[in-house]
Structure 1
Amino acid sequence: MTTTLRVIVDQIVAPVPGALGRYTRDLTQAIISATPRDCAVEAIVSSSLPEDYDRVLAELPGLAGLYKTSLARRELAAAWQLGLTTSPGPGIIHAPSLFAPLRRHDRSVDGSQVIVTVHDVLAWSHPEALSSTSVAWQKGMMKRARKHADAVVVPTHALAERLSEVADLGDRIRVIGTAPRGGLSLGADASERAARMGLPSEYLAVSGTLEPRKGLVDVLAALGRPGTPDLPLVVLGPESWGDQHLVTVAEEHGIHPRRIIRLDDLDAPDLAVVLAGAVAVVEPSHDAATGTGIIEAFSLSAPVIHSDAAAHLEVSAGAGLSVPVGADGGYPDRLAAAITAVTTDTQLAERLSIAGSDRSRAFSWRDSAERVWQLHADL
């Protein structure tokens, strides 16, 4: 008898797949690759265009089947939030997000399981960062998860602790880490890619938006401090946030626009070139939940400077240079000191590069997939 695990992969064909779409693809590919004997993997996707179905099948080779719901994504999200549909029926279901058919079931009777994944608690900690509709949906789905999920997966112990403060899930929270996105490696055309993106010979790299909690503004303030190395800054993110614009904010901190190189929506090979070529990668977010950006930089041997957010400290495990955010307003000064140290001390940069590369080996999608299979088996 074959045991079938069905994974909800709808985010792959969402209008903006984003980081969650990459997570869904990479984890599902690994789940398929790690399929135990007498088991199979099927995918669940909302009613979509034929080309979307083709894309799922192309990105997830080895699927035993593709279940297509009768409702489109928006309608399905609303129906699952209200518990108005039993689609896609009983079985073993793994959801890479809260987007799942959470309903009353008894796994001791028919073996049905539903496991969901939580990547942040922004709906509770920073609701202003989301639309009111998204906040309501996430809170509604969390209530359903508290009632009906057999387990809830999170990427870090730090997030597990924060989630336990939001919802009483007892012992159902499980930590299964992330890994670098698929394709994040240097190819033979790395120099051509660097030239096309206009990368200088030396630069700092930082990801994020101008939203205060992301820490990008703190990095800009740090680079404007006297004595901080006059390096270009490659910003991996959007040009604006609300009515604030990157170049304008940079100028307000004394940084000439020519020092700012903004890149967004890079494919994995381009991102690999940016990270690998950076003098240092800065991960300044005040309250990170996953630390995946650090893992990706580590995998390319880039020296990493990061905030002391709990998830960052957990993922880094001392392989990066931690900078306390604090509540005293001195974060930019501490960042400036850290950036100066890493970019002027070649021995420190080399130690961070080696330590990060070593640490990156602790994270792989294969390991994550095997943990997913084991979790379902334990249930």
Structure 2
Amino acid sequence: MVTLRVILDRMLDDRPSGGRRYARNLAEQVIARAPVGCEVEAILPKATPDEFERVTSELPGLTEITQLSKRPDALGRAWRRGFATGRAGGGFIHAMSLLAPVRDISLAYGIDQTVVSVHDTTALRRPELRSPAAVTFETAMLRRVHRYASAVVAPTNAVADELSEHFDFGDRLRVIGGAADRRIVLPPTEDEGDRIAERLGLPDDYVLTFASAAPRKGLAPLLRAFARPKLADATLVVVGPTSAGTDDEALTTEALIAASGVDPRRVLVLGVISDTAVAVALQRASALVVPSLEAGFGLPVVEAFQFGTPVITSDAPALREVGMDAAHVIERGSAANAAASLDGGDVETALADYSERLESGVADVLGNTDLARRLRVAGRDRHDVYHWSASADQVWELHADL
């Protein structure tokens, strides 16, 4: 029996982050599509009873779960220094994030292999958009991954290219994409959907975003866009965590709304909602906006495609790759530059210019029926390109190749 051991640290996050959805959906299909004679085990950082129960209930096909003695943050501090990497055990390991026990296995003679997933390169290219702790961890781990990992998985060719600008992984670098979350589905009846929409307080017409307050997500310039004249009558609905996951009180959705100049009555903040409610919000939106300054894949883009919702994205390379001609693309312009190369005034000007382009781009889609219709049709076609089952097959093929 061949055992693939997947590290599921992202599933301990109770927020519906892209990393968590990626880990859950891919692990589910890796289990379902295991070749004959293969099984899947999990490696978890130290978990609370509720967290452990959530993982076992969401992934019942796991044959075993190895739980380590440290929480994710403590484990990350140890592993980025090369400490305690052997405590996870050996074998065939597939890490769903950068949290991986990478070490020298050159003498293992094929018995051990460690594959690491790198979801974006923000810490390398735009460190000012991440917290100092995240930058420290990710850059240190990437150096270890470059030295010791058996292979590296990127979600898009864009991320693979960006990684290659900093590290030469050679043929160890593979691209395995994501897909729409399998749990984001509409309720059985339209009446039930109406009740969910009423409970959420969804207006008849609105633009939807999943952008959080984290700087790289681009919520600040998007809110500024809605304060501008062309969108004076539009409503923005914000779904997802309302903070950037740090102690910085300025990085909350409420603080960004207050600083943007937009009328707060035109911004509906829903916070974290159920998967079914997400489906209802997506399906009824006039458009989805993904204004990210940096991105690795953009799961909401594919999730909007499945409902035929027009998609507007920034020109971040990964978003352009995923959306192709099915998304209305807005140039970030100088907002795409590293802040280190801009002084304070230039940064403010860059964000203001980006907000103006977002304003025009959203207004174009809302005001042009033909454009919106084209995006709806193209989005449904584009959605069919992405399947978690295909991604899982690629995972198994990668480990077989190694």
TM over 0.5: yes
* Separation (CA, whole Å) in 2 of partners of 1:81 and 1:245: 29
* Larger mean Cα displacement after TM superposition, 54-63 or 152-161: 54-63
Counterpart check, 1:366 vs 2:369: no
* Larger mean Cα displacement after TM superposition, 327-336 or 339-348: 327-336
* Separation (CA, whole Å) in 1 of partners of 2:73 and 2:358: 42
Please name the residue that 1:226 is paired with. 229
* TM-score for the superposition, normalised by structure 1: 0.91
* TM-score for the superposition, normalised by structure 2: 0.86
Counterpart check, 1:100 vs 2:123: no
- Percent identity, aligned pairs only, is 39
Please name the residue that 2:267 is paired with. 260
Please name the residue that 2:207 is paired with. 204
* Separation (CA, whole Å) in 1 of partners of 2:83 and 2:392: 31
Aligned 8 A contact 1:182 1:268 in 2: no
Structure 1 stretches lacking a partner, 5+ long: none
* Separation (CA, whole Å) in 2 of partners of 1:248 and 1:138: 27
Taking the TM superposition and a 5 Å limit, the aligned residue runs for 1:1-379 are 2-14=1-13, 18-85=17-84, 86-106=86-106, 109-187=109-187, 188=189, 189-210=192-213, 213-228=216-231, 230-239=233-242, 242-243=249-250, 246=253, 250=257, 255-327=262-334, 330-379=353-402
CA-atom RMSD in angstroms:
2.4
Q: CA deviation at 1:210?
A: 4.7
Aligned 8 A contact 1:213 1:286 in 2: yes
* Separation (CA, whole Å) in 1 of partners of 2:113 and 2:7: 13
Q: State the Cα deviation string for residues 230-276 of structure 1 (Å, max 9, x = none).
A: 12111224556743665675576653221110122222111111111
Task: Name the SS for the 1:144 alignment partner.
Answer: helix
Q: State the Cα deviation string for residues 66-87 of structure 1 (Å, max 9, x = none).
A: 2233444444333322323312
* Separation (CA, whole Å) in 2 of partners of 1:31 and 1:335: 38
Aligned 8 A contact 2:216 2:294 in 1: yes
Aligned 8 A contact 1:11 1:17 in 2: no
Please name the residue that 2:340 is paired with. none
Judging changes above 3 Å, is the alpha-carbon distance between structure 1 residues 204 and 40 closer, same or farther for their aligned structure 2 residues?
same
Aligned 8 A contact 2:15 2:241 in 1: no
Judging changes above 3 Å, is the alpha-carbon distance between structure 1 residues 283 and 18 closer, same or farther for their aligned structure 2 residues?
closer
Q: CA deviation at 1:51?
A: 4.2
Structure 2 stretches lacking a partner, 5+ long: 335-349
Q: CA deviation at 1:138?
A: 1.7
Judging changes above 3 Å, is the alpha-carbon distance between structure 1 residues 147 and 244 closer, same or farther for their aligned structure 2 residues?
closer
Q: Which letter maps to 1:23?
A: Y
Q: State the Cα deviation string for residues 273-311 of structure 1 (Å, max 9, x = none).
A: 111111111111122221222111112210011111111
